[in-house]
Amino acid sequence: MPDLIAHGLLAGLDEIADTGRDRRAAGYSRHLWEPAEHELRAWFTERAERLGLAVETDRNGNTWAWWGEPGADAVVVGSHLDSVPGGGAYDGPLGVVSALDAVARLQAAGFVPSRPCAVLVFAEEEGSRFGVACLGSRLLSGAIDADTARALTDRAGITLAEAAKTAGLNPAHLGRDQAALDRIGIFLELHVEQGRRLIDLGEPVAVASSILAHGRWRLSFTGQGNHAGATPMTGRRDPMVAAAHAIVAVQKAALANPGARATVGRIEAIPGGTNVIPSAVTAWLDARADTDDQARAVVADITARLQAPHSGCAATVVEESWTGTVTFDPELAARLALALGGVPALATGAGHDAGVLAARLPTAMLFVRNPTGISHSPEEFATLADCLAGVEALDTLLRELL
Give contact residues for ligand GLV (rule: CB under 6 A). Answer: 126, 133, 350-351
Round the CA-based radius of gyration of the chain to a whole number and report it.
22
The candidate with the shortest Cα–Cα distance to 281, out of 301, 300, 293, 267, is 267
Host H or E run for residue 359: none
Asked if 380 is part of the footprint of Mn ion (rule: CB under 5 A), the reply reads: no
Nearer to Mn ion, 92 or 131 (CB): 92
**Binding region for Mn ion (CB under 5 A) out of 9-17, 91-99, 273-281, 360-368:** 91-99
Minimum Å distance from CB 284 to ligand GLV?
A: 12
Find all residues with CB under 8 Å of 353, minimum gap 6, and list them: 79, 80, 122, 125, 134, 136, 137, 187, 189
Determine how many CB atoms are found less than 10 A away from the CB of residue 196: 14
Closer CB to ligand GLV, 51 or 347, in the complex: 347
- Closest to ligand GLV by CB, 12 vs 92, is 92
Answer with the entry of Mn ion, ligand GLV, none that 92 interacts with (C-beta below 5 to 8 A by kind).
Mn ion
Q: What is the DSSP letter of 53?
A: P
Stretch that binds Mn ion, among 86-94, 220-228, 241-249, 359-367 (CB under 5 A): 86-94
User: Of residues 253-282, which lie at the interface with Mn ion (CB under 5 A)?
Assistant: none
As measured in angstroms, the least distance from the Cβ of 350 to ligand GLV is 4
CB of 168 to ligand GLV, least distance (A): 26
For position 91 contacting Mn ion by CB under 5 A, the verdict is: yes
Q: For ligand GLV, give the closer residue by CB, 101 or 126.
A: 126
Contact window for Mn ion (CB under 5 A) among 21-29, 89-97, 112-120, 354-362 = 89-97
Helix (H) or strand (E) run with residue 120 in it: strand 117-122
Q: Work out what residue 295 binds among ligand GLV, Mn ion, none; the CB cut-off runs from 5 to 8 Å by kind.
A: none
Tell me the longest C-alpha to C-alpha distance in the chain: 77
Length of the chain: 402
Under 8 Å CB-to-CB from 122, ≥6 apart: which residues? 62, 78, 79, 80, 134, 136, 137, 353
Shortest Å, Cβ 353 to ligand GLV: 10
Cβ-proximal residues to 337 (8 Å cutoff; 6+ apart), any chain = 207, 343, 344, 345
Q: Which does 133 bind (CB under 5 to 8 A by kind): Mn ion, ligand GLV, none?
A: ligand GLV
CA atoms of 3 and 11, how far apart (whole Å): 8
Residue 36 or 133 with smaller CB distance to ligand GLV: 133
- Tell me if 92 contacts Mn ion by CB under 5 A: yes
208 burial (CB, 10 Å; 0-12 / 13-18 / 19+) is buried
| Interface region with Mn ion, contact rule CB under 5 A, candidates 90-98, 143-151, 239-247, 339-347 | 90-98
Helix, strand, coil abundance in the chain, percent, nearest 5: 35, 25, 40
Residues at the contact surface with Mn ion, assessed by CB under 5 A: 91-92
